[in-house]
Copies of this chain bind each other. A is one copy, B any other.
């Protein structure tokens, strides 16, 4: 049986042979920027937007990537093609990019000319989407919990850089799991406003208006942008504004957005019920519009993967 291939520094290698030296700066210092896109019916969704954001992350972290965005996109599509035959009907995959600063060596810090000797590490992967992880929440909704761990302030690392120094997200998640094994975290920023979690953005609905935290303290997800676009097309008013727990407790609807699940309804916030039905009417409308956009009922697709 054939094995999934991985793109690693210019070569396609079988997944089982792809690994990282212990001296890689990505492992040693969380010095990696990355992106995660997905396919619908094996068609990449907004891959270009993901790649553009990757290059913004590269710029601010000053990681020099020899390859340009067009070439990276081409290689990604080639890899997707190579791996295509391993997946059956009803499946879809991630398209994941990781770029680290490459091998860590003190020399590169004191001799600029030495930097060329340590090229960035580039990894592209297309693993299967794990629908069972989130499928059931389309129906039951997610329980959101705000941990005491706070969102990283942008003056330390701007959350708009999608990077892998994410231990604080784990500390937050671990605290949440103490409360509810199936809870999802939602981090507050230092001032106490709602931000995001490890992979998702947050929306709520009050008085028929879609509200979501502003770009300042979050990673502006591609899924978040998709929802705002769909809302505009559907004539649903939407604002980006500072939101507090009070707003979540009293929302009529709420949901998370993220690449694998697109939109996942929220049913509880710190133990209290949100809204009257799950998903709420506006959430359903947005889900429907997204499904039409990608010509796939991805909710049903996910539910089909649940064990009977």
Contact = CB atoms under 8 A, between A and B. Distances in A.
Interface in A274-304: none
Interface of A: 6, 18-22, 24, 26-32, 56, 59-62, 98, 101, 106, 109-112, 123, 125, 130, 133, 146-158, 160-161, 163-171, 173-175, 177-179, 181-182, 188, 190-193, 214, 216, 241-242, 244-246, 249-250, 270-272
State the number of copies, please: 6
A103 to B, nearest CB: 12
16 contacts: A19-B21, A22-B123, A29-B164, A30-B30, A30-B165, A30-B166, A56-B250, A60-B250, A61-B174, A101-B170, A151-B156, A154-B192, A154-B245, A155-B192, A160-B246, A165-B168
Nearest to A22: B18
A258 to B, nearest CB: 13
Contact of A29 (B151, B155, B166): B166
A121 to B, nearest CB: 10
A157 B42 CA distance: 38
Contacts of A188: 148, 155
Given A30-B165, A164-B165, 13 more contacts: A24-B27, A27-B164, A56-B249, A59-B272, A61-B167, A62-B174, A112-B181, A146-B148, A150-B153, A153-B192, A155-B192, A190-B190, A216-B242
A182 B165 CA distance: 25
Contact of A155 (B31, B56, B149): B149
B149 A110 contact: no
Contact of A169 (B29, B110, B133, B181): B29
Given A22-B18, A179-B178, A181-B112, A170 B61 contact: yes
